[in-house]
């Protein structure tokens, strides 16, 4: 439609939301559907956080807040970065946005000019390339495939950098693969970045607290202090505290960048919801008991899903270090036929036929830029995960050579 902006030609709708929509439609028709597409914890926000929000309403914290966030939250963020990441970000070096998503968006908005390149390891979270494109930049994808446990090699990063590279976008633990980089693996990448002083680092640490076993989370500016002046460290409360609907994300970074993002936000949303900000103060400053409980729960779900998927014919499922996703390959099933005669020619067909045959909704790897794989979110009950994995096993066994 001629009326709409050209920028829309560069943007695709979210494939993950499309799968959830399709699953909802089938459910509405009375089908028994298990949705494993959603990227959010399946349980409620902890009570102490809800209570802080109720108290904020009762105190009348219902007015516009400073654009970058209430001082109490910026202070709590500054303390969180110091306590958990060993990073010194003064409160004025932090900014609060309407979800981590908006913080990422504003960082791109504040920095990208036409022709600027953003290096994005693939598979990637669906929103990264679209955000870059809306802001006029060029996403440059670098493959981080199953052979390297979905982690980018320093050699591949080195090759992807050009004089036009503005940002390297780093996400660990990753959506969609769950892969998380060890300290040494982060260091290998930051060593490359130290040789390219024009490249800035945008790190999305949203799944920081969801790492399993004895894995220790590491973030680039902590691993390589030499990158501090050109790194923005982005995080949020959505995944760590089961607060997706509250829409609070935040960042720490160099003052001039934070100020530029503040200016954009001032003309855009005027800042995040006052009540949600008070809830986030309690999330960051209050008891952290929720985090280890949450982590243990997700770890046992991960172990269940990985084990059951590896028992399915033709599926290969690596064990990820973090987040609540697995990213199995269905490569060995390409070329097989369903009982109805459809040839599985791609991960997209695999996903569609699985939904039709067994009512299990997952997302095709092609949506995340690397296949033939599919993403399963295990943020749902063990009972449902067990049932869903049994159905996947049955579906895979039913495919004919």
Ligand X SMILES: Cc1ncc(COP(=O)(O)O)c(C=O)c1O
Helix, coil or strand: residue 374: strand
By the rule CB under 6 A, 121 interacts with ligand X: no
Nearest residue (CB) to ligand X, 68 versus 175: 175
Residues 22-41 that bind ligand X (CB under 6 A): 39
Q: Which of 41, 99, 178, 252 binds ligand X (CB under 6 A)?
A: 99
Asked if residue 221 lies in contact with residue 233, where contact means CB atoms within 8 angstroms, the answer is yes
By the rule CB under 6 A, 204 interacts with ligand X: yes
Nearest residue (CB) to ligand X, 200 versus 325: 325
Q: Which of 81, 89, 125, 298 binds ligand X (CB under 6 A)?
A: 125
Close Cβ partners of 237 (under 8 Å, ≥ 6 residues apart): 243, 246, 248, 249, 279, 280, 283, 284
Instruction: Give the Cα separation of 95 and 107 in Å (integer).
Output: 11
Edge-to-edge order in the sheet of strand 374-377: 325-326, 374-377, 363-364
In the numeric block, which tokens belong to residue 321?
A: 């270090």
If you ran DSSP here, which 8-state letter would residue 70 be given? -
Which residue's CB atom is positioned nearest to ligand X? 99
By the rule CB under 6 A, 241 interacts with ligand X: no
Nearest residue (CB) to ligand X, 153 versus 203: 203
Q: How far is CA 297 from CA 173, 334, 361, 387, 388, in A?
A: 17, 33, 22, 18, 18
State the Cα torsion 234-92-88-241 to the nearest 10°: -40
Total residues in contact with ligand X, by rule CB under 6 A: 13
By the rule CB under 6 A, 101 interacts with ligand X: yes
By the rule CB under 6 A, 175 interacts with ligand X: yes
Q: Which of 249, 252, 371, 372 binds ligand X (CB under 6 A)?
A: 249
Instruction: Give the Cα separation of 396 and 401 in Å (integer).
Output: 11
Report the nearest approach of ligand X to the CB of residue 204 (Å). 5
Report the nearest approach of ligand X to the CB of residue 260 (Å). 20
Nearest residue (CB) to ligand X, 236 versus 372: 236
Q: How far is CA 65 from CA 14, 248, 273, 278, in A?
A: 31, 14, 8, 11
Residues 325-344 that bind ligand X (CB under 6 A): none
By the rule CB under 6 A, 100 interacts with ligand X: yes
Q: Which of 35, 137, 236, 318 binds ligand X (CB under 6 A)?
A: 236
Instruction: Give the Cα separation of 281 and 219 in Å (integer).
Output: 22
Q: How far is CA 253 from CA 17, 138, 214, 248, 267, in A?
A: 31, 23, 29, 17, 20
By the rule CB under 6 A, 238 interacts with ligand X: yes
Asked if residue 33 lies in contact with residue 380, where contact means CB atoms within 8 angstroms, the answer is no
* Count of CB atoms situated within 10 Å of the CB of 2: 3
Report the nearest approach of ligand X to the CB of residue 235 (Å). 9
Residues 349-388 that bind ligand X (CB under 6 A): none
Report the nearest approach of ligand X to the CB of residue 302 (Å). 16
Instruction: Give the Cα separation of 128 and 108 in Å (integer).
Output: 10
Nearest residue (CB) to ligand X, 106 versus 111: 106
Which segment (76-84, 94-102, 138-146, 328-336) binds ligand X by CB under 6 A? 94-102
* Count of CB atoms situated within 10 Å of the CB of 44: 10
Per-residue binding string, ligand X, 279-318, x by CB under 6 A, is ----------------------------------------
Binding site for ligand X (CB under 6 A): 39, 99-101, 125, 171, 175, 204, 206, 236, 238, 244, 249
């Amino acid at each position: 439609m001629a009326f709409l902006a050209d920028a829309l030609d560069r943007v695709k709708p979210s494939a993950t939301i499309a799968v959830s929509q399709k699953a909802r439609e089938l459910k509405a028709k009375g089908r028994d559907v298990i949705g494993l597409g959603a990227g959010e914890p399946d349980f409620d926000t902890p009570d102490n956080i809800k209570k802080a929000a109720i108290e904020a309403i009762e105190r009348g914290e219902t007015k516009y807040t400073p654009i970058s966030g209430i001082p109490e939250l910026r202070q709590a963020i500054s303390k969180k970065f110091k306590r958990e990441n060993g990073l010194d970000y003064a409160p004025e070096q932090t900014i609060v946005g309407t979800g981590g998503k908006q913080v990422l968006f504003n960082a791109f908005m504040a920095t990208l000019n036409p022709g600027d390149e953003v290096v994005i390891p693939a598979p990637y979270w669906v929103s990264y390339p679209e955000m870059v494109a809306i802001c006029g930049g060029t996403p440059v994808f670098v493959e981080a495939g199953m052979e390297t446990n979905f982690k980018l090699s320093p050699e591949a990063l080195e090759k992807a950098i050009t004089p036009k590279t503005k940002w390297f976008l780093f996400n660990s633990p990753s959506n969609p693969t769950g892969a998380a980089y060890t300290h040494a693996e982060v260091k290998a990448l930051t060593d490359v970045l130290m040789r390219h002083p024009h490249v800035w680092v945008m790190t999305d640490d949203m799944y920081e607290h969801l790492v399993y076993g004895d894995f220790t989370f590491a973030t680039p500016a902590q691993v390589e202090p030499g990158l501090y002046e050109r790194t923005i460290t982005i995080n949020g409360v959505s995944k760590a505290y089961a607060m997706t609907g509250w829409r609070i994300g935040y960042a720490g970074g160099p003052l001039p960048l934070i100020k530029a993002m503040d200016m954009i936000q001032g003309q855009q949303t005027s800042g995040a919801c006052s009540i949600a900000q008070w809830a986030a103060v309690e999330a960051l400053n209050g008891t952290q008991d929720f985090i280890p409980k949450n982590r243990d729960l997700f770890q046992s779900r991960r172990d269940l899903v990985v084990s059951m998927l590896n028992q399915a014919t033709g599926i290969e499922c690596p064990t990820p270090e973090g987040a609540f996703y697995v990213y199995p390959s269905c490569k060995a099933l390409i070329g097989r036929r369903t009982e109805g005669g459809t040839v599985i020619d791609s991960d997209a067909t695999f996903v569609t036929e699985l939904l039709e045959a067994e009512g299990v909704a997952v997302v095709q790897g092609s949506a995340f830029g690397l296949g033939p794989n599919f993403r399963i979110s295990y943020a749902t009950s063990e009972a449902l995960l067990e049932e869903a994995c049994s159905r996947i096993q049955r579906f895979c066994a039913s495919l004919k050579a």
